[in-house]
Amino acid sequence: MENAKEALAGQEQTTLQITGMTCAACATRIEKGLNRLPGVEQANVNLAMETAMVKYEPDAVSLEDIMKKVDQLGYKAEPKQSEEETEKAKTREVHHQRNKLIVSAVLSLPLLWAMAGHFSFTSFIWTPELLMNPWFQLILATPVQFIIGGGFYVGAYKALRNKSANMDVLVALGTSAAYFYSLYQTIRWATLPHAHTSELYYETSAILITLILMGKWFEALAKGRSSQAIKTLMGLQAKNALVVRDGAETLVPLEEVVPGDIVVVRPGEKIPVDGEVIEGMTSIDESMLTGESIPVEKKPGDTVIGATVNKHGALKIRATKVGRETALAQIIRVVEEAQGSKAPIQRVADVISGIFVPIVVGIAAVTFLVWLLLVNPGDFSGALEKAIAVLVIACPCALGLATPTSIMAGSGRAAEYGILFKGGEHLEAAQRIDTVVLDKTGTVTQGKPVLTDVLPAAGIREEDLLRWVATAEARSEHPLAEAIVSGARERGLSLPEASAFEAVPGHGIMADVDGRRLLAGTRRLMQREGVAADAATKAMAELEQAGKTALLIAVDGQYAGTVAVMDTVKDTSKAAVQRLKEQGIRVIMITGDNERAARAIAAEVGIDEVLAEVLPEGKAAEVKRLQQQGRRVAMVGDGINDAPALATADTGIAIGTGTDVAMEAADVTLMRGDLTGVADAILMSRRTMGNIKQNLFWALAYNTVGIPIAAAGFLAPWLAGAAMALSSVSVVLNALRLQRVKL
């Protein structure tokens, strides 16, 4: 539905790969810049994934304009490449960061060794005379400062040019202060005979840069792990397909298959594309898609889904969906969009990081002046050291990574269990659910009812009654109709063609059969059409008490009998309802069925509250009524006939096999065909939000505690650098714990 609205509005959505971001302030600046562009509806920048998702009006702004704006802000943007290309680029980036770190460490370690010679308490450590030479230290520190650390200067310049500040500004200020003060002392030592070398801070600048690079390398490694879900899904796809062309079987790359191609699938092979079986019978392992371990039998006319496995028997299928249109490609797209989206809680981090850097620079300046003028008057080097420590400890990297890494890990882990969150906002919203409304048919039950009873009125043969009602119901797509038609055919009845068919939503059907006007439906339909059906009351009560759904039949305005069907409860429904209750959630079942039949099914699975005989359009109204009571409501349905209720609910959860409509209508899609995914989705949401709050707490607490300690002079700059790097890594590692959540 969302995409349909966007299409009507003429909107387009694109995902850009962004390079050059170093912290949350960078992501915030790009986001603000893009959102100010005329024609841009919404821009979300994800620091952890290094992407920007942009919705825009192509008539008002072009993709080139959007990328040009990112370039003006000092970063590089290009259309997101295939997952394979993106993965290669990330691998190159990890290797590049590692190589920079190695060179920086090799040059910095001698300076760290030399630092031991500056303090009396480390005088027992032997230090080569060469390492104590200021010129030698200058030679080691300069390439670290300006070549390896050159990116910090470039980033700081671009940020300041755009009238903002980021982590690069803090690092450039802190390391430059240490380097240039040391350079001044080196020149002074060379020109003044009595000058000493104890006030050199080359090791401070070099080791800071090395530690920051180490943190970035760890971050790059961890980010690669947090997008493991996408890699896993991509790995499910077949690489090639055996296609029949010009009468011969030809192995072609998957990208070359087009809709309409006849594809041959041998036993044990993956089905390459979505399609329809035209020849052969087999069983298909669809566990990657639905979570169901039992293979599904397939025959000509049945649909098959790409990336599922053909267990036995050769198949010929006609390709219906290829490339980005397949079910698996849609799943991958949903996961990518969820990982790239922004949860509302991230706004907290964005606001803080936007004003953080200027405040820190101010605190560092005040720290410097207080130490220089009041605490140790005239001790320039000591005051500078304290100011550098403040600048370095305050880098807001951890704050920027706190939310996106958890969203990536949480939504990715959920996807591995067949739970697809459409965006970060839905992942956040699910944790607040306190009421779950379950549609009965196909959600609590199998959705495939079977014919159980045919009770004709006096003077009417059972076969005639069943043939009449099955003939009329053959025009209907309702599951109850399918059960009646299947039951008639199993009994060998031939069904003529019905005419003047009319479906009455929530009531039943009307049609002309063999020259007779036939009605089949609820008591309300009979009352509306003036049919006296009192004779059926007792039989109906007994059928409904047994959990069966009874349909009253009238022929030419006279009651003709009753037929009953029964839908069996899914094996997992009772346990799933129990889990929801254990999570403190109120469970309600909603259905168009009569009260007695609905309550029989509800009692079987442990549901205490039932809303029965609710028309399709009434489901949304019932959801709204619960919301007006202050409840946070999740509606669980099949995503098609329940679409209005799914859209009305705080969280719409579609249960099924991920059809196009289900994915569009719902906020969460459960690929498994049972209710256990509802409890799992809420659990995953709660775990993810708990993880985000932990990350935000520790990132903020770290800066809140660290800055005063550094300002008070209890933190050497190199220790501040180590702590800053470790804080970012700890946030990412904490987020990765979500990948071990058992559902």
Amino acid at 309: V
Question: Please, what is the end-to-end C-alpha distance for the chain in angstroms?
Answer: 29
Alpha-carbon gap, residue 440 to 595, rounded angstroms:
12
Describe the crossing of helices 134-143 and 167-191 by its angle, rounded to 10 degrees.
Answer: 160
| Phi, then psi, of 250 in degrees rounded to 5 | -125, 130
- What residue has token string 């003060």? 181
CA triple 334-339-345, angle to 5 deg: 120
Alpha-carbon gap, residue 185 to 606, rounded angstroms:
79
Name 528's bridge partners: none
Alpha-carbon gap, residue 586 to 588, rounded angstroms:
7
| Phi, then psi, of 703 in degrees rounded to 5 | -70, -40
Residue 112 structure tokens: 């760290």
Looking at residue 419, what DSSP letter applies?
A: E
How far is C-alpha 178 from the chain's CA centre?
44
* 667 is an active site residue: no
Query: Which residue, among 504, 567, 507, 560, has the nearest Cα to 536 in the 3D structure?
Result: 560
CA atoms within 13 A on the CB side of 445: 28
Contact assessment for residue 560 and residue 457, using Cβ atoms and an 8 Å cutoff: yes
H helical segments located in 200-313: 202-226, 228-235, 287-290
DSSP string, 138-163: HHHHHHIIIIITHHHHHHHHHHHHTT
Cβ neighbours of 134 (radius 10 Å) = 20
- Candidate list 285, 439, 567, 642, residue with the active-site label: 439
Residue 738 structure tokens: 């979500």
Name 78's bridge partners: 17
Describe the crossing of helices 167-191 and 202-226 by its angle, rounded to 10 degrees.
Answer: 160
Alpha-carbon gap, residue 594 to 590, rounded angstroms:
11
Letter string b/e over residues 16-51, b meaning 16 or more CB atoms within 10 A of that residue's CB: bbbebbbbbbbbbbbbbbbeebeebbebbbbbbbbb
The residues assigned a catalytic role are 439
